[in-house]
Amino acid sequence: MKAIIAPSLLSGDFAILAEECNRMLDLGADYLHMDVMDGHFVDNLTLGAPIIKSLRKHTKGFLDCHLMVSEPEKWVDDFVEAGADSYCFHFEATKDPESIIRKLNKTKTGAAISIKPKTNVEVLKPILDNKELKLNHILIMTVEPGFGGQKFMQDMMPKVKYLRENYPELNIQVDGGLDEGNVKVAAESGANIIVAGSSIFKSDDPKRTISLMRQAVNNSQ
Q: Which residues are catalytic?
A: 35, 175
* Annotated binding-site residue? 66: yes
* Annotated binding-site residue? 137: no
* Annotated binding-site residue? 146: yes
d(CA 61, CA 152): 26
* Annotated binding-site residue? 41: no
**Torsion angles phi and psi, residue 131, rounded to 5:** -70, -15
* Annotated binding-site residue? 12: no
Q: Give exposure, 16-47, as e/b (b: 16+ Cβ within 10 Å).
A: ebeebbbbbbebbbbbbbbbbbbeebbeeebb
**Helix, strand, or coil (residue 156):** helix
* Annotated binding-site residue? 8: yes
The secondary structure of residue 152, as a DSSP letter, is P
* Annotated binding-site residue? 35: yes
Q: How many CB atoms lie within 10 A of CB 103?
A: 16
Q: How many CB atoms lie within 10 A of CB 118?
A: 8
Pair 33, 68: CB distance under 8 Å = no
* Annotated binding-site residue? 149: yes
d(CA 25, CA 210): 10
**Helix, strand, or coil (residue 219):** helix
* Annotated binding-site residue? 147: yes
* Annotated binding-site residue? 33: yes
* Annotated binding-site residue? 110: no
Q: Which residue ranges make up the annotated binding site?
A: 8, 33, 35, 66, 146-149, 175, 177, 197-198
Q: Which residue ranges make up the annotated binding site for a divalent metal cation?
A: 33, 35, 66, 175
Q: Which residue ranges make up the annotated binding site for substrate?
A: 8, 66, 146-149, 177, 197-198
